Structure 1
Amino acid sequence: MYRACVEDLVISRRLRVPVDVEGDGTPGWGEVAARQLDAALLSVGFTCSPALLDRLARLPGEQVIDLGVRVLAAVRRLVGDHVVHNAYFVDFPRNVPDTLEFWAGLLREAMLDPVAAARLQPGTLNLLDLPRYGRYQHTYADLLAAHDELIPLAKDRVTVLELGGSLRDEARELYFSLAGSEVPLAAEDLTALRALAAFCAGDRPEHVPVRENRAVVNEVRLAAGQPLLVDTVTDVLRVAALCSEGDVTLSTPTRLRSFRRAERRILLAALDAVPAAKHGDVLRHREQWKRLGERLHPHEYPQFPSAAEVFDVARGVREAVSFGGRVEAALAGGRTGDAVALLEHTPGALLRRLDHLLRTGGGSAVLEAAERAAAHASGRVLLSLREHLQNRLAPVDRVFTNRHGKAWAIPDTRSPLDEEALTRTLAILDEEITRRLPDPGELIVDPAVLDVALPLSGKSAAPGLGVLPRGSLSPVDGELLRFFVYWRQAARSTDYDLSALMLDATYDNPTHISWTSYGNDFATYSGDLTDAAEGASEFIDIRLPHATQPIVIPQVHVYAGERFDEAAEAFFGYMTRDAVQEGRPFEPRTVRMKSDLRGSGRIALPLVFLRGDDGAWRVKWLHLYLSGHPAFNQVEGNRVTTSLLVRSIVERDHLRVGYLADLLRSKASAGGHVTYIGLETPPGLPEGARVYTPATLHELIPA
């Protein structure tokens, strides 16, 4: 089970095909099968690299076919072609009726049908009661017959699959990359890390800086009877929750399982090793600690007295003040110096509070403490502070997002920072970040990657095809831009609605495309589907050369039924193509981006499309969710909130790859190695070149 899962992860995350055998080198059926696989991959926008084709050609044909079936299935899931994408209107985007004309037609048909008319309630009109509304009126075969073949163009996406090493080597490399990430991972990445940890049980990452990642590694260590990697009491609670199939983030309570005696001994030994000064952290999750104490029976193990004290704190038998509580008390009392003295023991915490400390009048003492702290804080903290402070130069609305991508914006009412102090701090950060970066040797940077935002957190972005971090900018090529959403309900009737909000350059004068407005002069909606027992797809076509408004925001609303994280499957993406290409509503080789929809929010804002002064269109990545209403969410009801949020993200100065590339150039030497940063791995790089692509950008964040 783990082998198939891990192979799929390597293919979809790294675009590499693991091959464990060499083959006898005899051309034959394997070469024919390899060419057939490549042709099948091209139909969904992928191709084999020359090295991969050569290796496959030297394998027995049966092995190539078996591997090819798994590879093709993995990339079809990656692009969203593993399901059938029908459209409500069979000719979409042609012959879509006017909205009122469509509704009037359905109503007229219902009134002429005595059975349907009897179901309509006097004085009300519910579209869901109309017989033909919200359900496919034709088969997928009918849709195929109504559309011409796609005319392939050179600009269509062709993603290269590279030859990988053995599955064990590829899995180990991916495992160490995720485990050693300096930034928090998305929920899907944590699930992948857990599968990789089980598969690579004999391998031990040396550096696991993020605590949730550490809990995954500790779960494997606990199962193997090895000591845990902990430095706070919360590390122990996380691994207990994970072992109980609970929430490793501890944001929701977990029903803890019983632990074997050997496991209890390891968990208590880890707790006992944590200094008593950190026992105040127990107060953040007091009730969960009480439940863990009932499972571990700490007083049966007198050799771990400090561990027993942890549970005494949870029960209120022993007093403890959290570190954060002591800092807050000092700040509330106007004792900034005392707060700084406390925070100097935790450099990361000091830098996270630097803005507040500078506004409380700490002066030069705060800056000196910050300079000392910068040498010891994590690279992610330094970069996050750098981005925060550069936006204090020209303040915009403040945007807050939680781990689920839920977001809200408020005006920035903080007093401005002293310009001299701000300039000095930015210089300190730039110097320290540069010091930590490695010598890139010969540095090669693809200009297309310069506007990609640094992944300072991966929690909000679900992995997928062409997904970039929040705040990234990338060009949009093609005359037709087509959004798509697919969902399949798990247990109850579920209605998602794809919509698009269009704004002018001042984020005002809104218009929209949705189930209440099927089209305008440059946009067309594919029709509303209200049940997805067997899956449903909706599309919106935007004819970019004719767009009269420069801001287009696609949205997915939960109108009724299951949330994104409750549905059996839900994903969003977009395609680009030229008008002459024709084709079906969904053409996998024209898909530029596809990722899962998830989280408890009921309105998804994946990205925004912007037309610049030069007339060119670009996409900026949002990865945002709004809470919305329990039901009946519509684009008309959230346009003010959406406009404010999107404006705040668009106007924010995100820290991008171009920033680190400039710092790396200052350290570049004439060494014998090559470092490449780009959107894809190009052919012809020398052996041993260090390559950074969107899948591995988190590895650019210095420790």
Structure 2
Amino acid sequence: MIDRLEPLVIRHTLRVPTPTGPVGEGATVARQFDAALLSVGFKLSPELLERLSGLSGETVVRIAGRTLRTVRAMVGDHVRHNAYFIGFPANVPDTVDFWMSCVTDALYDEETSAATLKRLRTGVLNLLDLPTYGRYQHTYAEMLAAQDELIAAAGDRITVLHPGGDLAGELTALYLALAGSATPLGEEHLSDLRVLAERCADGPQPQEIPVRENRAIVNEARLKAGSDLLLGTVTDVLRLACALSDGDVALAEPTRFRSLSRPVRRALLAGLDSVVAASPAKLADVAAHGEEWKRLGERLHPHEYPKWPHAAEVFAVARGELKARSFDGRVEELLAENDVLGAVKLLKSAPGKLFRALDRLLRTALTQEERDAVVAAAEQVAPEVSGRVVLSVREHLHNRARETGELRVFVNRRGRAWVTDDERTVVGPVERARLIAALDDETRRRLPSAERLLVDPEVLDVALPLSGKATAAGLGVLPRGSVSAVEGELLRFFVYWKEAEQRTDFDLSALMLNADYSTNTWLSYTSLTDVEGEHSGDIVEAPDGASEFINLRLGAVRGAFIVPQVNIFAGEGFEEVEESFFGFMLREGEQQGRPFEPRTVRMKSELRGAGRVALPLVFLRGEDGRWRAKWLHLYLKGSPSANRVEGNRVTVATLLRGIVEREQLTVRHLVDLMTGEATEVKLWDGGTVPDDGPVTYIGLRRPDGLPEGSRIVTPENLRDLIPA
């Protein structure tokens, strides 16, 4: 069990749970552990090294083994990364020359020569039919022997691990943080929450679980533990039923409900009955998911439990046998009658819905009286709206200053993106300014007071994590829209995948665009070399796992944008393969080393999205000539097969324009709001930290030596900045 739980703590917090076990002489083993960590770009903080040194050697060995396995997986070093061209990035041939060499090899192969000649006579030859194309021609060991050792550089990534408490305490703290998160969690974090909730169901609980998906996972654990359920609406029961069937608790995808045991059916029906009995008006929520309720009713058999008549009403509404006017339906009726004032009056009873409808209400309002009423209502109910929604609307209004005719980008919960022209009428500048001021005042009121702020300047352009759905799981990953500096001369992308059941071909490509988003050039399996760099070669199957790389010399890149992408040419999707991830490395000009060197990895993110083309991030050249990364975490639908960079250039460029030109709300916004007359603010320059009392530190990485009692916010817990 410890092998399953301890990695959760390390991945989420970069802390190593340390026991108070037997005192011993573990200093030597601890130093060896620290040296082993350096080979994959990690190291022990001085405090952690000191703590481990005081434990027995056997205890340190066990901790080291578990931790090394975890951090190697975090950076992508738990698998073997081979390259098709053994000397990559050196000696990569011209594309046509390489293809011709594969044809020549096939003609000299007794088993394939006749078939190859026959296909050549027809004028059509499939590269996949050539025995030396797309399949490794050397072993991993042979590739390592052909590569020079990596030369260590000052710019290599070092991720510091800090000391944690005992495992039980760390797990409880992590459970409380995830369950009580003010923003929705991503799929990996939801899965981790499920593991933690099962373990912590009988322990301390968050004061509030504001995100309903989180509540469904917690309720699943409480149901199994025999504890009372946390239910506020009938939809909470539906989400719980989805969780029990391993379905989508966000209700974005249909769930195939399983047969449920009699005790579980009784618990769900009793919960439904109590919710409706306490507030019959909540039956209005049923219509939004009527089909799901009908299918769930087939599993719950409510007619067998006459003692819970209110639960039966839920299914009667779903079947249309009982009328329950939905709240949204009543709003739509009022707006259809152009009764903006009536709609505003009704929406004030549902502050979150009012905020989400602000743009539409302002565009629908025909008179100044109506527009003033909309703004006044928003100002009045703002204290009742969640901080995440307040900030989301603030970001939306900021971007509504643009003229009509700009691009409008849509991204769903699963990262699928599409673009259309924004044909909405503008929001009046006066109303927009009033609302922005009110939202900033409300956010400022909720932010915790901080007498001393210590801020890493590199974190200021990180987008606020208003939803975990906008961030992929992995190392060094930032929320969608974040901008971070790129330091290094050589930029190298990598993708790894391992097929589950059928032959699967992922293709790594890099599209270079000009400042006007027109195509400059690209690197892919159809264009192995160019001025900018080299492609490591096409791999067309991955029964044991496969990797592809692209090496770029940033100083030679023509154009203003570099767009790495992963195209599925054939086989399983990103959510079907056994494993898949993308990342990038940065190296100095003279560094050699293997195609994959964990110490140079700056980012590694899981590829788990609904689409056939993945767009993890884009690199932008600034007016100062320096490169920066902007995080996308997007997926295009693509074609069922044969997706290539040449075929999606226009779509990618259009989407990129919509994303790049949209401004996200960043950490800088909250820091500005937290800065008042009573707040001392200092920018951290990477050196020593103040030692004269606790601080609130916000940065990309935790520095050593922060005073005891300091509040620490890094990307691992950035969601804690979002006020409740």
Q: With structure 2 as the length reference, what TM-score do the two structures score?
A: 0.94
Distance of aligned partners of 1:429 and 1:107 in 2 relative to their CA distance in 1, 3 Å threshold: same
Instruction: Confirm or deny that 1:59 pairs with 2:55.
Output: yes
- In the TM superposition, what is the alpha-carbon distance from 1:280 to its structure 2 partner? 2.4
Tell me the CA shift for residue 112 of structure 1: 3.0
The aligned residue for residue 91 of structure 1 is 87
Structure 1 match to 2:282: 278
Report the 3-state secondary structure (helix = DSSP H, G, I; strand = E; otherwise coil) of the residue aligned with 1:424: helix
Query: Is 2:517 the counterpart of 1:507?
Result: yes
The within-5 A match list for 1:611-626 is: 611-626=621-636
Question: What are the Cα deviations for residues 151-192 of structure 1, in whole angstroms up to 9, with x where unaligned?
Answer: 101111111000100111111111111111111111111001
Match of 1:666 in 2: 676
User: What do the CA deviations read for 1:225-282 (whole angstroms, capped 9, x no partner)?
Assistant: 2222122211101111111222222233333234344433332232122422221222
Paired letter, 1:325:
G
Residue-by-residue CA offset, 1:596-635 (whole Å, 9 max, x unaligned): 1012211000000011111111000000000000000000
Counterpart check, 1:48 vs 2:44: yes
Q: Equivalent residue for 2:705?
A: 684
Provide the C-alpha distance between the structure 2 equivalents of 1:453 and 1:111, rounded to a whole number of angstroms.
55
Give 1:583's aligned residue: 593
Q: Secondary structure at the match of 1:53?
A: helix
**2:113 & 2:353 partners in 1: Cα distance?**
66
Residues 57-456 of structure 1 aligned to structure 2 (within 5 Å): 57-120=53-116, 121=119, 122-203=122-203, 204-272=205-273, 273-274=275-276, 275-361=279-365, 362-395=370-403, 396-456=406-466
Q: Are the aligned partners of 1:225 and 1:262 in contact in 2 as well (CA < 8 Å)?
A: no
Q: What's the secondary structure of 1:454's corresponding residue? A: coil
What is the DSSP-based 3-state SS (H/G/I as helix, E as strand, rest coil) of the residue aligned with 2:470? coil
The code of the aligned residue for 2:698 comes to I
Give, in whole Å, the separation in 1 of the partners of 2:115 and 2:190: 49
Q: Is the 8 A contact 2:496 2:546 kept in 1?
A: yes
Which secondary structure state, in structure 2, belongs to the residue aligned with residue 168 of structure 1? helix
Structure 1 counterpart of 2:644: 634
Match 1:459 to one of 464, 469, 474: 469
3-state DSSP of counterpart to 2:128 = helix
Question: CA, structure 1 residues 672+94, in 2 after alignment: closer, same or farther (shift >3 Å)?
Answer: closer
* C-alpha distance in structure 2 between counterparts of 1:170 and 1:240, whole Å: 29
Deviation, structure 1 residue 657 = 0.2
The amino acid of 2:254's aligned partner reads P
Q: Which amino acid aligns with 2:643?
A: N
Cα drift, residue 114 of structure 1:
4.0
SS at match of 1:144: helix
SS in 2 for 1:510: strand
User: Match for residue 493 of structure 1?
Assistant: 503
C-alpha distance in 2, partners of 1:673/1:161? Answer: 21
Measure the CA separation in 1 of the matches of 2:429 and 2:102: 64
CA distance in structure 1 between the aligned counterparts of 2:487 and 2:75, rounded to whole angstroms: 18
Which segment is superposed worse, 541-550 or 571-580? 541-550
Aligned mates of 1:623, 1:513 — CA distance in 2:
21
Residue 696 of structure 1 corresponds to: 717
Deviates more, 1:194-203 or 1:484-493: 194-203
**8 Å contact 1:269–1:304 — kept in the other structure?**
yes
Structure 1: how far apart are the matches of 2:107 and 2:501? 32
Deviation at 1:672, TM superposition (A): 6.3
- Conserved in 2, the CA contact under 8 Å of 1:79 and 1:465? yes
Contact 2:615 2:634 (C-alpha < 8 Å) held by counterparts: yes
SS of corresponding position for 2:488: coil
User: How much does 1:385 deviate?
Assistant: 0.5
Shift in Å at residue 66 of structure 1?
1.3
The structure-2 alpha-carbon separation of the partners of 1:545 and 1:201, relative to structure 1 and needing over 3 Å to count, comes to same
Which residue pairs with 2:28 in the alignment? 32
Query: 1:667 Cα shift?
Result: 6.7
Displacement after TM superposition at 1:479 (Å): 0.4
Q: For 1:570 and 1:189, how far apart are their aligned partners in 2?
A: 17
Give the secondary-structure state (helix, strand or coil) at the position aligned to 1:685.
coil
CA deviation vs aligned residue, 1:633-656 (integer Å, no higher than 9, x gap): 000111111001111111111100
Q: Does the 8 Å CA contact 1:237/1:289 hold for their aligned counterparts? A: yes
Structure 2 counterpart of 1:21 = 20
How far does residue 668 in structure 1 lie from its aligned partner after superposition? 4.5
Separation in structure 2 between the aligned mates of residue 668 and residue 301 of structure 1, nearest angstrom? 61
Structure 2 Cα separation of the partners of residues 505 and 669 of structure 1: 41
- Structure 1 CA distance for aligned equivalents of residues 101 and 298 of structure 2: 65
Answering whether residue 580 of structure 2 is matched by residue 573 of structure 1, we say: no
CA-CA distance at 1:22 after TM superposition: 4.0
**What is the CA-CA distance between 1:194 and the residue it aligns to?**
0.4
Kept after mapping to 2: 8 A contact 1:522/1:544? yes
Give the CA deviation at 1:363. Answer: 1.2
> Is 2:529 the counterpart of 1:519?
yes
1:306 to partner: Cα distance: 1.8
Q: Give aligned pairs, total.
A: 699
**TM-score normalised by structure 1 residue count:** 0.97
Between the aligned partners of 2:199 and 2:3, the Cα distance in structure 1 is 11
Structure 1 residue 339, shift from structure 2 partner = 1.4
CA contact (8 A) 2:566 2:615 kept: yes
CA contact (8 A) 1:227 1:266 kept: no
In 2: Cα distance, 1:4 partner to 1:322 partner: 48
Which of 540, 544, 547 matches 1:534? 544
- In structure 2, how many angstroms separate the alpha carbons of the residues matched to 1:271 and 1:188? 29
CA distance in 2, matches of 1:661, 1:460: 21
Shift of 1:23: 3.1
Amino acid of the residue matched to residue 331 of structure 2? V
Distance 2:615 2:677 in 1: 39
1:29-64 per-residue CA deviation (whole Å, 9 max, x = no partner) reads x22211111111000000011111112112221121
2: distance between equivalents of 1:496 and 1:220?
Answer: 38
Per the TM alignment, residue 109 of structure 1 is displaced from its structure 2 partner at its CA by 2.1
What amino acid maps onto 2:501 in structure 1? A
Unaligned residue ranges in structure 2 (runs of 5+): 681-691
Query: How far does residue 332 in structure 1 lie from its aligned partner after superposition?
Result: 1.9
Structure 1: stretches of 5+ with no match in the other structure = none
Separation in structure 2 between the aligned mates of residue 324 and residue 534 of structure 1, nearest angstrom: 51
Per the alignment, do residues 667 and 656 of structure 1 end up closer, same or farther by CA in structure 2, a change over 3 Å counting? farther
